[in-house]
């Protein structure tokens, strides 16, 4: 049974991952071919995305795109903006590429943008990810992408930074057991600032939902640090809608 798509609404996903040192974004390689000459015209990069299917809800479409590229279900996902500029797709080669990949004549698409947070050690190359040559790119080394995808990424980063300052979303990028240094690195990398070690540690350890474990790091070339655990249920219980500890 063939799948029918809505030719006017798409989903674009900014997928963030953190490797303890760098914030990364999942990008997809695109090839534009001259089929008559069987010649590769250009290669460039784009965000993972898709037209929504007919009678498909937006959140479901975004979850589908993420699973296709990361193999993961039930990961953090948030809609943050809508991009509707009629000129966002204007290049003839891009219009032709859309037609070849969708079978639909498309000149104007409204894109609903989401960002998601992925634990890199859990994400695995999925079939569509391998097929499209998706790979992780350092947030500081993003090239010029197709359409308005650089603008979408920039706004996603602003949305992530704003949320990180008031909500415990950073734990979505860390393993279940983490060190305070790893958490501080995450905040510094995403926010682009340097934090005072003592003040950060003092502020963090006041939070009852940050629980120390009777475990330490393993296989490290320095003094092993204590591991901690973030208790989401306890946070929900005692926080009562108030903001996460401020940075």
Segments making up each domain of the chain, as ranges:
5-164, 174-239
Residue 214 pLDDT: 93
Residue 242 pLDDT: 59
- The arrangement of secondary structure in 5-164, i.e. its CATH architecture, is Alpha-Beta Complex (3.90)
Do the first three CATH levels of 5-164 and 174-239 match, i.e. the same topology?
Answer: no
| CA-based R_g, the chain, Å | 20
Residue 245 pLDDT: 62
Residue 240 pLDDT: 62
| CATH of span 174-239 | 1.10.10.10
Tokens representing 181 are 């240094």
Sorted by sequence, the CB contacts under 8 Å of residue 59 that are 6+ apart come out as 77, 79
Residue 71 pLDDT: 79
Tell me which residue has tokens 């079978």. 103
Residue 174 pLDDT: 93
pLDDT under 50 in the chain at which residues? none
Whole-Å CA distances, 110 to 12, 46, 105, 178, 204: 10, 16, 15, 39, 41
Residue 206 pLDDT: 87
Tokens representing 105 are 């004549």
Task: Say how many C-beta atoms besides its own lie within 10 A of residue 230's C-beta.
Answer: 19
């Amino acid at each position: 049974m063939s799948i029918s798509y809505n030719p006017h609404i798409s989903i674009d996903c900014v997928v963030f991952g953190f490797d303890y040192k760098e914030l990364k974004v999942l990008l997809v390689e695109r090839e534009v071919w001259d089929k008559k000459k069987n010649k590769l015209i250009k290669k460039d990069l784009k965000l993972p995305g898709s037209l929504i299917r007919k009678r498909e809800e937006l959140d479901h479409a975004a979850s589908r795109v993420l699973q296709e590229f990361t193999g993961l279900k039930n990961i953090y996902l948030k809609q943050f903006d809508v991009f509707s500029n009629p000129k966002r797709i204007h290049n003839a080669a891009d219009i032709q590429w859309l037609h070849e990949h969708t079978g639909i004549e498309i000149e104007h698409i409204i894109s609903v943008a989401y960002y998601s947070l992925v634990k890199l050690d859990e994400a695995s190359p999925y079939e569509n990810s391998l097929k499209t040559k998706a790979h992780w790119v350092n947030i500081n080394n993003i090239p010029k992408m197709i359409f308005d995808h650089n603008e979408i990424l920039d706004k996603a980063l602003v949305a992530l930074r704003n949320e990180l300052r008031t909500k415990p979303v950073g734990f979505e990028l860390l393993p279940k057991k983490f060190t305070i240094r790893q958490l501080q690195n995450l905040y510094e990398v995403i926010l682009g600032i340097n934090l005072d070690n003592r003040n950060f540690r003092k502020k963090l350890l006041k939070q009852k939902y940050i629980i120390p474990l009777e475990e330490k790091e393993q296989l490290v070339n320095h003094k092993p640090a204590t591991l901690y655990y973030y208790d989401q249920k306890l946070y929900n219980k005692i926080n009562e809608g108030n903001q996460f500890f401020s940075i």
